Every structure is written in structure tokens, then in C-alpha cells.
Amino acid sequence: MATTRRELLTKALAAAGAMAVPSAASRANEEANDGHPHDHDHDHQTVPSDPALRVKALETLLLAKGLVDQAALDSLVNLYETKIGPRNGARVVARAWVDDDYRARLLKDGTAAIKELGYGGVEADRVVVVANSPRVHNLVVCTLCSCYPWPVLGLPPVWYKSAAYRSRVVIDPRSVLQEFGVEVSPEVEVRVWDSTAEIRYLVLPERPAETRHLSEEELAHLVTRDSMIGTGRIAFRPEGVRE
């Protein structure tokens, strides 16, 4: 029977770990000290997940073969971690809330209107913006994999890529929404949009009531990532109102 790399690593680490497992006496000593940890003269180690191992192996190989540049790789990761994210989408939403003409352009041609604010490119060749209303609640998924409009939302959250979300959201969207804490009245239609590599969706949430006095920038701060996927609502309490 063939031994997989994971089994091999697990066995190797278990063997190494066995030599470093604290004795019953030291564990008892730890308990006696109100759970204060024992001396760390050894490393605790766990085997990384299979995808993490695979990514690391690929990265090492590509770097060794000179096919990718470490600095370029670092700057790309940095770009998506620090510069591109849901704040971009929030600015698009806030602009649509304060400017009816922009809103109309956004709903007609999302890609072009998003580009007006300087966002676009990879993973957003075509973005369709769908507006929530008192009668319609929109929800975005990628049933095939994890297509997502990166330039306006950043990298997709783990749950968006999970098999459970991808399969359940098309079968029973209301239950999934409930689990996210979003109650949708029976009279409100739930529309599920299945993203592909060609078309990605962005939800335009409804502007909360009593936000007339807020500036575009302040409005943008209210907009959450999940509200632009459809799995969240925008919370806003006017000043002076307490729960």
C-alpha cells in the first residue's frame, strides 16, 4: 500500500513528538500549578493542511526554477492584503447612494462605473451590480469554485469558498441567510446570483434610513463586505438611539 506524503509527515512528526511529550509527572506538575504551562524546551508542531503543503511545494519549485520572482510574489500578496479590499466596494456603494446618476450608470454597466472610481482589472473583467430593494434581496455565490470581484471586495472569505455555502445557498438561501443573522421576510424575493469567471456580482445594499446627514465618506464606513455579498445587513443606529 502506498504511503502518502501526508501520512509520512504525520508519522515522522508523531515519532519526533513522542520523544518530547511531557511525562505524566510534569503534566501533574502543570496541573498543580493552576495549568501554568511547562517549560518550553521543545517545539509544538502540527502538520499543515494538504492545500498549504501543496502551495508551499509549488511556490518552492517555481522559485527554484526561476519562473516567479520572490519580490513580485510578496508585493502581490501585500497588494491584496493591504491595498485592495472591501473598502473599494464600500466607496462604490456610497457613491451610488449619494449620486443617482452614478447609481444608474452602476446598475447599467457595473464594470465601467466601478472603473470611474479607479477600480478594475484582474478578477473583475465584467462586474454586474444588483441592487437590493424593499422587495428584493440579492445573494452572491460561485457554485463552481470561488469567483469573486477582487478589485472591489478583496480576497474571498473562507466560507465563500466552502462546499457547504456553495451548495446550500442555491437550495435553501433563506436558511443560509438566517445562519448569517439575516432575516428576510417571506414577501421579499431572494435572488441568488451564480458568479463565473466571466461575470462576477456585487450587491448594492439599501441605504439605511436616517443617514441623510452623513457624508459620502461616512456612508462608506457603514458598508460591510458581507452586505456587498448579500450575507449581511448594514447596521446603523442614529445618534442618541441606544439598543
145 catalytic? Reply is yes
Nearer to Fe ion, 58 or 144 (CB): 144
Is residue 75 annotated as part of the catalytic site, yes or no? no
| Among 90, 106, 124, 142, contact with Fe ion (rule: CB under 5 A) | 142
3-state secondary structure of 136: strand
- Catalytic residue (one of 26, 75, 133, 145): 145
Choose between 98 and 199: whose C-beta lies nearer to Fe ion: 199
Q: What is the DSSP string of 74-92?
A: HHHHHIIIIISSHHHHHHH
Please report how close the Cβ of residue 166 comes to Fe ion at its closest, in angstroms: 9
Interaction of residue 169 with Fe ion, rule CB under 5 A: no
- The reply on whether position 140 binds Fe ion by CB under 5 A is no
Residue 104 is inside which H or E element, if any? helix 100-108
Give the residue with the Cβ less far from Fe ion, 147 or 220: 147
Q: Nearest approach, Cβ of 33 to Fe ion (angstroms)?
A: 51
List 129's β-bridge partners, or say none.
202
Catalytic residue check, 147:
yes
Closest by CA position to 20, among listed 37, 48, 43, 1: 43
Beta carbon nearer to Fe ion, 52 or 145: 145
Asked whether position 125 contacts Fe ion by CB under 5 A, the answer is no
Q: 187 is written with which cell numbers? A: 414577501
* Binding residue for Fe ion, selected from 55, 63, 77, 145, defined by CB under 5 A: 145
Q: Is 152 in the site for Fe ion (CB under 5 A)?
A: no
CA-angle at 141, arms to 122 and 48, nearest 5°: 75
Q: What's the gap between Cα 178 and its chain centre?
A: 18
Residue 142 is among the residues annotated as catalytic for this protein: yes
Nearest CA to 137 out of 231, 234, 211 is that of 231
- Report d(CA 200, CA 32) in Å as an integer: 57
Give the residue numbers annotated as catalytic, written as ranges.
142, 145-147
Q: Which residues bind Fe ion (CB under 5 A)?
A: 142, 144-147
